[in-house]
Amino acid sequence: MSLEISSLNVSIADKQILKDFNLTIPKGEVHAIMGPNGTGKSTLAKALAGHPDYTVNKGSALLDGEEIFGLEPDKVARKGLFMAFQYPVEIPGVSIANFIRAAVTARMNKEASDAFSATAYYKALYAKMDELKIPREFTARSVNEGFSGGEKKRCEILQMAMLRPKYAILDETDSGLDIDALRIVAEGVETMRGPDIGIVVITHYQRLLNYIKPDVVHVMYGGRIVKSGGPELALELEARGYGWVEKEFGALV
Ligand SMILES: Nc1ncnc2c1ncn2[C@@H]1O[C@H](COP(=O)(O)OP(=O)(O)OP(=O)(O)O)[C@@H](O)[C@H]1O
Ligand SMILES: [Mg+2]
């Protein structure tokens, strides 16, 4: 079981961003992707989610053997792929509680959804909120509206914890988080990790990887993965920056 991305070419506004991108995330593993600004990390996440602005020119993404390119974004989510975006959208007028409930029941069949009582739902929701130290009054607030950067990130981890996806791609979940929030989010990810989920964390900071221990670290450069290794690769990047990657793989084009 894996999320297998192969020979992926993606362009936006006629500019090719991902170039023969290959990455396989086996279920049960946590992978980190690091790389300089503009190298295509968020493009990867958006293309996989089925964002209409991103054109997939070539390649495939198999989720446990099933192709997800060509599916509508909600179908991709139903197959069990979860995305936490760098800039989460605000959804005025939709409370967090209703939003998450709709997402959770959308993945159930009718029988299970009818049997999922409000009491059971709120019990599960509050338990996760307590774990993530999200105050309960947040349930009544509109999704992300007026949230601080850190609150948005915690809310995304809450969604992920409630949805229990098969694969999760977390884009810059560390940006805008204070030190305590960083730890809470990282611990949220750590408590979710296990044999039934594959997780990709896109990050600029080795710091996050002190809390989330990746099995594999990938360096992305010029629209593809140029190097993969263990957690020590993140330490190397932190110490040396990306200059050596450019020397080894040529300037970005
Ligand atoms: N709508 C657009 N029109 C033109 N170019 C775009 C558009 N959206 C993204 N790009 C370009 O695509 C490239 C890849 O962007 P992307 O957001 O994937 O980078 P990233 O690796 O996530 O960077 P960061 O580390 O800063 O988050 C960038 O050069 C960006 O300017
Ligand atoms: Mg990005």
The answer to whether residues 175 and 207 touch, using CB atoms and an 8 Å cutoff, is no
Find the 213 Cα to ligand 1 centroid distance in Å.
Answer: 27
pTM over the 0.75 mark: yes
Check if 160 has its Cβ closer than 6 Å to any atom of ligand 1.
no
What is the predicted pLDDT for the residue at 174?
64
Predicted confidence at residue 175, as pLDDT, reads: 66
Question: Which residue has tokens 């961003």?
Answer: 17
Q: Which two tokens stand for residue 253?
A: 């084009």
More confident residue, 8 or 149: 8
Per DSSP, which regions of the chain are E strands?
2-12, 15-26, 30-34, 55-63, 66-67, 81-84, 91-95, 142-143, 167-171, 198-202, 216-221, 224-229
Residue 123, in any domain of the structure: no
Number of compact structural domains in the chain: 1
Helix (H, G, I), strand (E, B) or coil at 74: helix
Query: Is 208 in contact with 182 (CB distance < 8 Å)?
Result: yes
Q: Which atom of ligand 1 lies at the shortest distance from residue 86's CA?
A: 27
Asked if residue 205 is part of any domain, the answer here is yes
| CATH assignment at residue 202 | 3.40.50.300
Has residue 232 been placed in a domain?
yes
Whether 228 maps to a domain, the answer reads: yes
- In this prediction, residues 94-106 reach a mean pLDDT of 93
**How confident is the model at residue 184, as a pLDDT?**
75
Q: Is residue 29 part of a domain?
A: yes
Q: Quick one: pLDDT at residue 238?
A: 84
pLDDT of residue 240: 86
Reported as a single tens digit per residue, the pLDDT across 167-221 is: 999 987 666 777 777 777 788 888 889 999 999 999 887 778 888 889 999 999 9
Tell me what pLDDT residue 173 has.
65
Ligand 1 pocket, residue 152 CB under 6 Å: no
Kindly tell me if the per-residue pLDDT of 252 is higher than 60: no
Q: Which of the four pLDDT bands, split at 50, 70 and 90, describes residue 81? A: very high
Question: Is the confidence at residue 84, as pLDDT, over 60?
Answer: yes
Comparing C-alpha atoms, which of 136, 126, 137, 141 is closest to residue 94?
Answer: 141
Assign 56 a pLDDT band (cuts: 50, 70, 90). very high
What average pLDDT does the chain have? 90
Q: How does DSSP assign 99-110, residue by residue? A: HHHHHHHHTS-H
User: Which residue's C-alpha comes closest to atom 30 of ligand 1?
Assistant: 38
Is 55 among the domain residues? yes
Range of the domain at 151: 2-90+147-249
